[in-house]
Amino acid sequence: MPRAKVVLFTAPADQGDILQDFLDWHLDLGVDFIIALDHGSTDGSTELLERYSKTHPVAWFPIQERDITKYSPADELAALARDKYGADWIIHCDADEFLCTSGNDLRALLDRAEADGVTMIDVPRRNVTGAALPPDQRATQALTLRIDKMVKLTPEQALSGEIPAPWIFMEVPGHLIVKASAFEQYGLGAHVGGVKWGKSVRYDELYMLHYNLRGFDRLQTKVRNVESWLDANTHMPQTSCWHWRRFIRIDRKGGLKEEYLRQFVPDDRARELIEQGVLTVDRTVAQWLEQKTAAS
């Protein structure tokens, strides 16, 4: 049988501090092609994408319309992956999320899905933390504590922003890998989706490491970007992007730096949480980066 083509799409927005690692990681993982829809980055991300588009299997486009009542960016990118770039499997993840495997590699797992009649794979996301990030270190290098026991919130807690632990420990929905020929559409945030046929599964060997909080300057930029995006999408329910709405409120009160620091774990507390099974040391991406750096 011919080799299945795997196409990943993402939507970076001022994530130049992690974007190169993201691209290199997924190409090394076995992704054949990456599509990036840039959301108005001004931090060098578009220059990086342009450079990669000339030397790697990467294509990028600037976003033309931010109001998602007019179209579904995820659906359009999935259709582009299928119809223009010949995808057999489509992966969606954000530019701060790294798809990881334990045991079988990505290709073996997709072959297994094909044999089992699976057309949609739900991939859990695991936030990562560690000691407060030094300014000269990459998140992919320094943040190696995967949060395995996350706190599930009620809708009331999400709306009020009164949460029982630092936000980094809150449960986050996963993302999807879908069979291109069966794909129908994504739901809000592309955390759920529909396929025309086949089974949906979750494989224990697949997960995403989510480097969502890195430098404080990146958080400030993200808060500004999300606030602008929400202004263009006032139809969104208040439970959507609830955590970013919460960060926006905290920022307006002058408490963003303090809130940022609460998301990291000092070494003594980390040891306790590892013993309790809340945290797991996961150096999957860090080791890859060390090996890549040593080889260059």
| Distance from the first to the final alpha carbon of the chain | 35
CA–CA separation, 175 and 212 (whole Å) = 14
Q: pLDDT tens digits, residue range 112-158?
A: 999 999 999 999 999 999 999 888 889 999 999 999 999 999 989 98
Range of the domain at 187: 6-295
Can you give the chain as a three-state secondary structure string? Answer: CCCCCEEEEECCCCCHHHHHHHHHHHHHHCCCEEEEEECCCCCCHHHHHHHHHHHCCEEEEECCCCCCCCCCHHHHHHHHHHHCCCCCEEEECCCCEEEEECCCCHHHHHHHHHHCCEEEEEECEEEEECCCCCCCCCHHHHCCEEECCCECCCHHHHHHCCCCCCHHHECCCCEEEEEHHHEEEECHHHCCEEECCCEEECCCCEEEEECCCCCHHHHHHHHHHHHHHHHCCCCCCCCCCHHHHHHHHHHHCCCHHHHHHCCCCCHHHHHHHHHCCCEEECCHHHHHHHHHHHHC
Kindly report, residue by residue over 71-125, the tens digit of the pLDDT.
Answer: 899 999 999 999 999 999 999 999 999 999 997 799 999 999 999 999 999 999 9
Residue 1: pLDDT over 80: no
pLDDT digits (tens, 9 = 90+) for 201-255: 999 999 999 999 999 999 999 999 999 999 999 998 888 899 999 999 999 999 9
In a domain, 166, yes or no: yes
In a domain, 205, yes or no: yes
In a domain, 43, yes or no: yes
Predicted structure pTM score: 0.95
Q: Residue 212 belongs to a domain with what CATH number?
A: 3.90.550
Average pLDDT, the chain: 95
Residue 1: inside a domain: no
Domain count, the chain: 1
- Note whether residue 113 is domain-resident: yes
pLDDT at res. 66 = 87
